[in-house]
Amino acid sequence: MQEIERPLVLCCPLPRTLELIFTPGRLADLRARYRLVETTDAALPGLDDAVLAQARYVIGQPPLDHATLARLSALRCIFNVESNLINNMPYDQVFARGIHVVTTGAVFAEPVAEIGLGFALSLLRNIHGADADFRAGREAWGGEGNRGARLLTGAEVGIIGFGDLGRAMARVLQGFRPRLRIHDPWLPEARIVEAGAEPATLEAVMTQSDVVFVTAAVTSENRGFLGAEAFAAMRAGAAFILLSRADVVDFPALMAAVASGHIVAASDVYPDEPLAPDHPVRSLPGFLLSAHRAGALDVAFQRMGEMVWQDMGLLDKGLPPNLCKRAERETVARMRSRPVSVN
Amino acid sequence: MQEIERPLVLCCPLPRTLELIFTPGRLADLRARYRLVETTDAALPGLDDAVLAQARYVIGQPPLDHATLARLSALRCIFNVESNLINNMPYDQVFARGIHVVTTGAVFAEPVAEIGLGFALSLLRNIHGADADFRAGREAWGGEGNRGARLLTGAEVGIIGFGDLGRAMARVLQGFRPRLRIHDPWLPEARIVEAGAEPATLEAVMTQSDVVFVTAAVTSENRGFLGAEAFAAMRAGAAFILLSRADVVDFPALMAAVASGHIVAASDVYPDEPLAPDHPVRSLPGFLLSAHRAGALDVAFQRMGEMVWQDMGLLDKGLPPNLCKRAERETVARMRSRPVSVN
Amino acid sequence: MQEIERPLVLCCPLPRTLELIFTPGRLADLRARYRLVETTDAALPGLDDAVLAQARYVIGQPPLDHATLARLSALRCIFNVESNLINNMPYDQVFARGIHVVTTGAVFAEPVAEIGLGFALSLLRNIHGADADFRAGREAWGGEGNRGARLLTGAEVGIIGFGDLGRAMARVLQGFRPRLRIHDPWLPEARIVEAGAEPATLEAVMTQSDVVFVTAAVTSENRGFLGAEAFAAMRAGAAFILLSRADVVDFPALMAAVASGHIVAASDVYPDEPLAPDHPVRSLPGFLLSAHRAGALDVAFQRMGEMVWQDMGLLDKGLPPNLCKRAERETVARMRSRPVSVN
Amino acid sequence: MQEIERPLVLCCPLPRTLELIFTPGRLADLRARYRLVETTDAALPGLDDAVLAQARYVIGQPPLDHATLARLSALRCIFNVESNLINNMPYDQVFARGIHVVTTGAVFAEPVAEIGLGFALSLLRNIHGADADFRAGREAWGGEGNRGARLLTGAEVGIIGFGDLGRAMARVLQGFRPRLRIHDPWLPEARIVEAGAEPATLEAVMTQSDVVFVTAAVTSENRGFLGAEAFAAMRAGAAFILLSRADVVDFPALMAAVASGHIVAASDVYPDEPLAPDHPVRSLPGFLLSAHRAGALDVAFQRMGEMVWQDMGLLDKGLPPNLCKRAERETVARMRSRPVSVN
């Protein structure tokens, strides 16, 4: 009897797995409270009507057409655990019915911000280069080893994009008391001011910063919005750190700016992933390289499951989800960050 | 006439130079307000009695015997701009006369703390190693590239020594909201508590930390106080970061602990500097290397001069120095950190 | 021609007025960018179809029936500037159409939190009583005047309700480094933890606090949830500070707890407002009184207009509102805090 | 035997008592570790030579002449537990011998800063006046009750004097994110900057602040330095809060400035204490009164003993005192704040 009453959850979390995003204990909790139906994006529409009609939640981001969505008559929330919203369902119908579509991408904010600060400190103090030199027996001691070294404390720092990642970036920077300028065209200025930073134009961020962090997602409007002109306008010796998606920059132009010695850079993302073995960025001095690994920590994946679990609890109590981020009618169709296919 | 009234300053700042520690503008200010007598440690005792009798300040850390000190009858303050106090003058006589002996070592706190955090993030996320791998075409993408990676936010962090550097370390860590344990046997617990941290025994710091920063100066009592046993008691995979002087650790034991894979480490200081070309630490995996360059930034040296300038201003007004750190009767003779001979 | 293209805004902001919530400059901006139709709750349904059909925004909280709502065919957002949501429109229809209903109540968070901290300090140190005694010539000097006085720094503090006001309360308390326990049944624990506080049961907050701030709105579920038993379970001498609405407490029981000397209290809200001239709370020692004035500052009203203005700007750009707080399908019908009829 | 080896402490702590400043447990600790000789200022010089010769510490601030001081041949530290330094001993001789003279006045910083913020909030929001009006049945509801009310968040705030109290003031203000200007002629600007505030002239603090806190001690140089002109130059409606000593202001001029309606004020200190029953400040509207009770909390007195205990422990280990504040050769003779005669 009790079996019948447990809410039903459709699970198709690829590229994640339930085991990746839930600890064993939490997965047991989940199975105790809900009936889990493990399926795939492809198989979901073929499930029995009775199953679809009882599904309260979906964990995953399956493509859904009007008909399938209609059959999901009890659906309250779709938990996208990849984290990038895709235009793969009739959002009008979803929103009209009051179904929440949410993502757990916020779990990546903390690990990405931490490595982002690590990139900045490595660039400003040449930590990686000095280690390589020391190993090669060509280290320079004391002040001789600090050509171009700069402090971060009190520096002028820019952040482009002030979502979860931008906020986490500002948090890990706190102890450095930077003068922080933030550009985010989707946010009212008051949100930036209340975070203790200054709202700024893209130009101001690019031209008046010692370090620039790019955390903006790709949208239908901002592909390649940072190009040769923007890099040329940066301060000499400034550090440019790319943390979101390569599509927001003109990557060859970024490489050229670094190659010229005008700026230094670090990136976690690339136009192609994996990157060709002979890609010239691999041998570019002044460009710190990381293979799209900034967010993919085990602990981040486990927080995904925790967010899903806690928000399901709120929804079960008749409250809206709170920890996951909701897709918005106004913006969902503009998102263009490509999902990952591996964890 | 005015010439006679300007206070006289004896300058023997080696290994620093006046040009290193004062900006051109400030050096001009200094020359306008004081008579500078540029001398050397060796030449100072041979200066005319009239010169010594008029000297109000010394910039440098010259050895002084009783007789010379007696001739420095108007002396109010010795500004040690190397930063390590040396047992090279009759401190009893100095203190009895109310002469201040101060150091400007605090200028290194900020640059050392910044690179220290950079070391920690590089170790926790393998930033330097991943860059080297990427350049060699053997990078691992996504989660595959994060074996052993850890977050710093919320981690348990220990700091050994809570002077200027320890405090700066705590400041740059702020945004990571660590659980911070601090060991400093020379400080009352209340000073650590009011900084928002927990006073802890050395054992607690070593055994309960994910990251340990060593900032303690060498004294007559603490040479080699961190040895094989202490490293073995650390958490598996913890990071040990040495920022002060190599003499506080048993360096071979530290290398062995890293070589065994039990911990990872970073160091800015070594038993011999420069280090022998064939020293085994140069090829030790898991050991991040930096050639005593953590503090030696131009901006740090210029802050030295600024501290001297501002404290001279206070002393001229009949106030005690405030920015520089004073030698204490009780502890001055216990200091053993070796001065540097190059900047 | 341009006239036709300016978006139309229906204005019925009572008890506010456009002049109260917009500065003269901002009101001019508003008139330049929009066509303002000033109306009233009662008159709105009688407006021409053409007017209603063009209205993009409503400033106010007018009752709307299905028919009127249908005629408001271009409506995107209703800006409730009173701040309490009322069950006076068919929310299902509103949400199905994707119309935002938002409130500007967040503007009161800062002024209410500030006076709330002022109440706490006045109670803990008897600031108001000592002033009255001094004026009456019966002041007690030094320690004699501090019977029962307590520090707030490091105290255990509870907050009930962690919306905008609760968060502002936590912010103004920051410098006191309290141990902060927060109870909010509508929030996941993670939200409280990330604010640096501890999620707690209502019982824990009431029994383990030196000071309790009540910031929770009245809902269909929490009327009178704090009664005699809860007050009796508080620490002897603790301070209870009521900032939201009187309906969340059993007011006579609160008075009795204060009259017995067990706790002290402050309140900005009352079961009836204005309160009867002979109400016994007026002469109750240990009960600090304020006449529902905590939020009603001119600057708060002007921030209302600014929030409306900035969010209209976002909506005009096809983005969702950000500064105002949105009514939620799940909770809108549960709200019971009575609107005010005067500013 | 052991008895002989316990260090000897001379105790003449009036107006404090050992029972006031030590908890029972700590007093037992003290008696176990030291031989306490309880004496008085007057009786101390008459003690046996053997007793004086063994005394390592004095708790109190007794007048000492050259001869008595010479007999105190083992003396290391005088713990002044009243907190104001007095010119009652030959400081040259004291300092030449390396005897520390320290005060425990820092214990008052926290309670005084807390009530100081309470005064500010009461003045800005008329908390005390509104309570009195409510009790008298003449309260004004809502916005009507907020004539002249102001927010503290983001306000321009000035602090005069940046010792322990000034720093505690800055701390409790943190959550309000004020623009903070600080005037302290004895401090280098860098100390103010590193506290996140702006060094400012006295004039800037007085003329550009919404709230001014006076925390400066009286010295030989600053008696009455705030007079009619300074008050007239304040912003209309600004709040002036006096927390240190009445001698730093021209008190009648302060009263006149408040009487004219130009500013509001709060004070914890008065030209005469206790104040005459018919003193006109008692009936002055706009002047919040407190009878020198800001610091005199039991918990503050107990912290005194704790500071003494912890610093004795450091001294016993051959380290300098750390928690108590040291008298300085340069400034000790300039202090003029009158000691209190009651707790």
**Please, are residues B295 and B73 in contact by the beta-carbon 8 Å criterion?**
no
Identify the CATH class of B110-289: alpha beta
CA distance A331 to chain C (A): 7
For residue A292, report the phi and psi dihedrals to the nearest 5 degrees. 45, 55
| A301 band by pLDDT with thresholds 50, 70 and 90 | very high
Q: Report whether B82 contacts B340 (CB < 8 A).
A: yes
State the chains in contact with A (3 or more Cβ–Cβ pairs under 8 Å).
Answer: B, C
Q: Which of D251, D327, D246, D328 is nearest to D83 (CA)?
A: D327
C-alpha–C-alpha distance, residues B246 and B271, integer Å: 5
Q: Which of C190, C320, C323 sits opposite A331 (nearest CB)?
A: C320
Of the partner residues A191, A314, A320, the one whose CB lies closest to the CB of residue C322: A191
Q: Where are the beta strands (DSSP E) in chain A?
A: 8-12, 35-38, 55-60, 77-80, 100-103, 156-160, 179-183, 198-199, 211-214, 239-242, 264-267, 287-289, 325-326
Contact C310 A187 (CB under 8 A): no
Question: What is the per-residue pLDDT across D254-276, written as a single tens digit (0 to 9) for each?
Answer: 999 999 999 999 999 999 999 99
* Chain C residue with the nearest C-alpha to that of A110: C194
Calculate mean pLDDT across residues B282-286: 97
Of B137, B139, B293, the CB nearest to A145: B293
- DSSP at C74: T
Cis peptide bond upstream of D13, omega within 30: no
How is residue B279 written in tokens? 């020293």
Please report the pLDDT score of residue A219 as a whole number: 85
The pLDDT value given to residue C164: 95
Q: For residue A330, which phi and psi values (nearest 5 degrees)?
A: -70, -30
Under 8 Å between Cβ of B213 and B194: no
Interface probe for C, chosen from D123, D124, D125 (most Cβ of C below 10 Å), is D125
Is the CB of residue A214 less than 8 Å away from at least one CB of chain B?
A: no
Minimum Cα–Cα distance from D315: chain B residue: B330
Compute the distance between CA of residue D211 and CA of residue D265 in angstroms, rounded to an integer: 9
Alpha carbons C33 and C46: distance in angstroms, whole number: 25
pLDDT value of position B4: 57
Residue with the two structure tokens 């790019």:
A214
- Helices of type H across chain C: 2-5, 18-21, 24-33, 49-54, 66-71, 91-96, 109-125, 127-135, 164-173, 189-194, 202-207, 228-232, 251-259, 298-316
What mean pLDDT comes out for the span D230-241? Answer: 98
Instruction: Note the pLDDT tens digit of each residue in D183-199.
Output: 999 999 999 998 999 99
Half-sphere exposure of D89 (CA within 13 A, CB side): 27
Q: What is the pLDDT of residues A209-220, one digit of tens each?
A: 999 999 998 888
A2-104+298-334 in CATH: which number? 3.40.50.720
Query: Residue C297 and residue D130: Cβ atoms within 8 Å?
Result: no
Q: Distance of alpha carbon B331 from its chain centroid, rounded?
A: 16
The confidence band for A1, taking pLDDT boundaries of 50, 70 and 90, is very low
Q: From the CB of residue A67, how many other CB atoms can be counted at a distance below 10 Å?
A: 9
- Which of B131, B296, B340 lies nearest to residue A288, judging by beta carbons? B131
Q: What is the pLDDT of residue B2?
A: 46
What is the architecture of the domain spanning A109-289? 3-Layer(aba) Sandwich (3.40)
Cα separation, B342 vs C17, whole angstroms: 72
Angle between helices D298-316 and D109-125 (to 10 degrees): 150
A143 Cβ under 8 Å from any chain B Cβ: yes
Within 8 A by CB and 6+ apart from C74, the residues are C53, C54, C55, C56
Taking residue B318's Cβ as centre, other Cβ atoms within 10 Å add up to 10
Do the domains at C2-104+298-334 and C108-289 have one common CATH topology? yes
Name residue, tokens 């795939």: A40
Rounded-to-integer distance, Cα B284 and Cα A287, Å? 25
**Phi, psi for residue B133 in degrees, rounded to 5:** -60, -40
Indicate the burial class of D313 (C-beta count within 10 angstroms; 0-12, 13-18, 19 or more).
middle
Say whether residue A284 is in contact with chain B using an 8 A CB cutoff: no
- Phi and psi angles of residue A100, each rounded to the nearest 5 degrees, phi first: -85, 140
pLDDT > 70 fraction of chain A, expressed in percent and rounded: 99
Name the 3-class secondary structure at B63. Answer: coil
Mean pLDDT (chain B) is 95
Q: Give every CB contact of residue B216 below 8 A, 6+ residues apart in sequence.
A: B160, B161, B163, B184, B222, B244, B248
Coil, strand or helix: which one is A85?
coil
Distance from CA of B276 to the nearest CA of A (A): 9
Sheet holding A179-183, edge to edge: A198-199, A179-183, A156-160, A211-214, A239-242, A264-267, A287-289
Of A98, A191, A320, the CB nearest to C331: A320
Share of chain B above pLDDT 70, in %: 99
Which of B188, B322, B330 is facing D191, going by the closest CB pair?
B322
Q: Is the pLDDT of residue B83 over 90?
A: no
Which pLDDT belongs to residue C198?
Answer: 97
Write the pLDDT tens digit of every residue in B226-238: 999 999 999 999 9
Judged by CB atoms closer than 8 Å, whether chains meet at C174 and D173 is answered as no
Cβ–Cβ below 8 Å for B98 and D98: no
Judged by phi (left if over 0) then psi (alpha if -120 to 50, else beta), residue C286 lies in: left
Strand partners, D289: D267
Core vs surface per residue B83-109: b (16+ CB within 10 A) or e? bbbbeebbbeebbeebbbbbbbbbbbb
pLDDT at A191 over 50: yes
Mean pLDDT of chain D: 95
CB contact under 8 A, C314 and A188: yes
For residue D100, the chain B residue with the least C-alpha distance is B329
Distances (CA, A) of D88 to D41, D42, D63, D85, D335: 11, 13, 5, 9, 11
Q: Say if D74 is an interface residue toward chain C (CB within 8 Å).
A: no
Query: Domain boundaries in chain C?
Result: 2-104+298-334, 108-289
Cross-chain CB nearest to D318 (options B187, B311, B330)? B330
Record: contact D188-B331, CB cut-off 8 A: no
Report residue A2's pLDDT band, with 50, 70 and 90 as the boundaries: very low
Q: Could C291 and D110 be called an inter-chain contact, meaning their C-beta atoms sit closer than 8 Å?
A: no
The ipTM estimated for the assembled molecules is: 0.95
pLDDT of residue A4: 58
Let me know the angle formed at the C-alpha of C74 by C73 and C79, rounded to the nearest 5 degrees: 110
Rounded mean pLDDT, D66-72: 97
Residue D246 in tokens: 């009445």
pLDDT surpassing 60 at residue D1: no
In the predicted structure, residue D182 carries a pLDDT above the cut 90: yes
Region A72-85: mean pLDDT is 95
Mean pLDDT rounded to a whole number for chain A: 95
Tokens of C259: 């009259």
In angstroms, what is the C-alpha Rg of chain B? 22
- Cβ of B298 within 8 Å of Cβ of A151? The answer is no
Residue A45's SS3 state is helix
Confidence of residue A221 (pLDDT cuts 50, 70, 90): confident
Other beta carbons within 10 angstroms of residue C312's beta carbon come to 23
Q: Can you read off the two tokens belonging to residue A15?
A: 């590229």
User: In sequence order, which residues have a C-beta less than 8 Å from that of residue C209 and are 6 or more positions away?
Assistant: C156, C157, C158, C181, C234, C235, C238
> Rounded to an integer, what distance in angstroms lies between the CA atom of residue D292 and that of residue D296?
8
Backbone angles phi, psi at B137, to 5 degrees: 75, 20
Q: Which of C267, C281, C290 to mutate to test the interface with D (most CBs of D within 10 A)?
A: C290
Report the alpha-carbon distance of residue D251 to residue B194 in Å, rounded. 36
Q: Does A21 touch chain B (CB under 8 A)?
A: no
Enumerate the residues of chain B whose CB falls inside 8 A of the CB of residue A144: 293, 342
A228 touching chain C per CB within 8 A: no
- In angstroms, the CA D160 to CA D219 distance is 14
Contact B159, B198 (CB under 8 A): no
Q: Are the beta carbons of B246 and B202 closer than 8 angstroms?
A: no
pLDDT of residue C255: 98
Structure-block tokens of residue D48: 């046996």
CA nearest B116: which of A134, A127, A111, A240?
A127
Please choose, from the candidates C185, C287, C297, the residue with its C-alpha nearest in 3D space to the C-alpha of residue C241.
Answer: C287
Q: D108-289 — its CATH code?
A: 3.40.50.720
What string of pLDDT tens digits covers the 343 residues of chain C?
A: 444 589 999 999 999 999 999 999 999 999 999 999 999 999 999 999 999 999 999 999 999 999 999 999 999 999 999 988 888 999 999 999 999 999 999 999 999 999 999 999 999 999 999 999 999 999 999 999 999 999 999 999 999 999 999 999 999 999 999 999 999 999 999 999 989 999 999 999 999 999 999 999 888 888 899 999 999 999 999 999 999 999 999 999 999 999 999 999 999 999 999 999 999 999 999 999 999 999 999 999 999 999 999 999 999 999 999 999 999 999 888 877 777 777 7
Please give the biggest Cα pair distance in chain A. 76
CA distances from C252 to A339, C214, C249, C279, C290 (A): 59, 16, 9, 11, 17
What letter would DSSP give residue C226? Answer: B
Identify the three-state secondary structure at position C257.
helix
Whole-angstrom distance, CA of residue B270 vs CA of residue B284: 14
CA dihedral angle for residue B286, residue B291, residue B297, residue B301, rounded to 10 degrees: 130
Distance in angstroms (rounded) separating the CA atoms of residues B35 and B33: 7
CB-based contact D140:D134 (threshold 8 Å): no
Say if strands B77-80 and B55-60 run parallel, antiparallel, or are unpaired: parallel
Q: In this complex, which of B188, B191, B318 lies closest to D330 when CB atoms are compared?
A: B318
| Contact across the interface for B190 and D323, Cβ inside 8 Å | yes
Q: pLDDT tens across B165-181, in order? A: 999 999 999 999 999 99
Contact C175/A at CB under 8 A: no
> Do the bridges between strand C325-326 and strand D198-199 make them parallel or antiparallel, or are there none, so unpaired?
unpaired
Instruction: Tell if the CB–CB gap between C322 and A98 is shorter than 8 Å.
Output: no
Nearest CB to D283; choose among C111, C135, C149? C135
**Residue contact D320–B330, C-beta within 8 A:** yes
Q: What span, in angstroms and rounded, lies between the C-alpha atoms of C165 and C175?
A: 17
Contact B294, B111 (CB under 8 A): yes
Taking contacts as CB-CB distances below 8 angstroms, the residues of chain D near C172 are 153, 175-176
Percent of chain D with pLDDT over 70: 99
Query: How do residues B94-150 score in pLDDT, each as one tens digit?
Result: 999 999 999 999 999 999 999 999 999 999 999 999 999 999 999 999 999 999 999
Per CB-CB distance under 8 Å, the chain B contacts of D320 are 328-331
* A3 pLDDT above the threshold of 60: no
Find the residue in C nearest to A309 (Cα). C188
DSSP string, C227-248: -HHHHHTSPTT-EEEE-S-GGG
Q: Take residue C157 and report the two structure tokens written for it.
A: 């503090």
pLDDT of residue C8: 97
Most D CBs within 10 A among C128, C147, C165, C268, hence the mutation to make, goes to: C128
